[in-house]
Amino acid sequence: MNPTIELLKSHRSVRKFTEQKIPHELLLELVRAGQAAATSSHVQAYSVIHVTDPANREAIAELAGGQGYVASASDFLVFCADMKRPTEASERTGANVVRGMTEQMLVASVDTALMAQNVAVAAESEGLGICYIGGIRNNPQAISDLLHLPEHVFPVFGMCLGYPAQTPDLKPRLPVEAILKTDRYDADNKQVAAFDDTMQQYYRQRSGGNKESDWSRNLTPLFDTKLRPHMRDFLIERGFEMK
């Protein structure tokens, strides 16, 4: 164990923040730390929108599902997969650029996620709290219009950053034995069943006995209906034709 591993294992989502503002130079350093993340073929297929306009913050909070901390956090970033910059750079060299490939969308999405996680870890190392906002994808076109995102750029998620006004309990994770396989994939439902018991106890303690659920039951809303079915058509409109 070392301080870096301890920091990584202490991650929790923070949704209540103090009024203290993050110094701008520190925010820039966090983004620079994000840029140091691994990136496929040095493409760096991401852009980050720092949303400072209070009206836009309020609008995004509603578009993301009524998440008020989007507006109340010191800072709010929208991490965007960006294939506009690299394809245009390549085109300026005289390359016959092919756009809209599924692989391009995957590269940009992975690059963006890796970059954002570096920002998150850097922020937590400075005593800040963060919360990812996947609800950005509830209304991706409205978010894109609000942020003037061009073709071949799409919002992947947002991130609230600020000085925490709460210390939430650590949420348990699946036992490593459930996810670390040796040589081949194998399913072990016993590990999931044991984790369900762990999560049931966690929810009881957190809610004072008012929530009876577990990991498997909490997944139901994600899989018993088509989740964000608008995303396919939205990405095609963005110029990713899934070729």
pLDDT for 209 equals 81
SS3 130: strand
Q: How many helices (H) and strands (E) does the chain have?
A: 12, 4
CA 156 to each of CA 41, 49, 176, 221, 235: distance values in angstroms, whole numbers, following the listed order: 20, 11, 27, 20, 11
Q: 232: closest CA among 220, 223, 222, 242?
A: 242
Percent of the chain with pLDDT over 90: 91
Q: What is the pLDDT of residues 101-151, one digit of tens each?
A: 999 999 999 999 999 999 999 999 999 999 999 999 999 999 999 999 999
Q: What is the pLDDT of residues 169-196, one digit of tens each?
A: 999 999 999 999 999 999 888 999 999 9
Q: What is the pLDDT of residues 217-235, one digit of tens each?
A: 999 988 998 899 999 999 9
Compute CA 115 distance to the chain's CA centroid, rounded to the nearest angstrom.
10
pLDDT for 240 equals 92
Instruction: Return the residue matching tokens 């925490």.
Output: 164
Residue 134 falls in which region: left (phi positive, over 0), alpha (psi -120 to 50) or beta: alpha
SS3 102: helix
Q: Is the pLDDT of residue 206 over 90?
A: no
CA distance linking residue 155 with residue 79, whole number of Å: 6
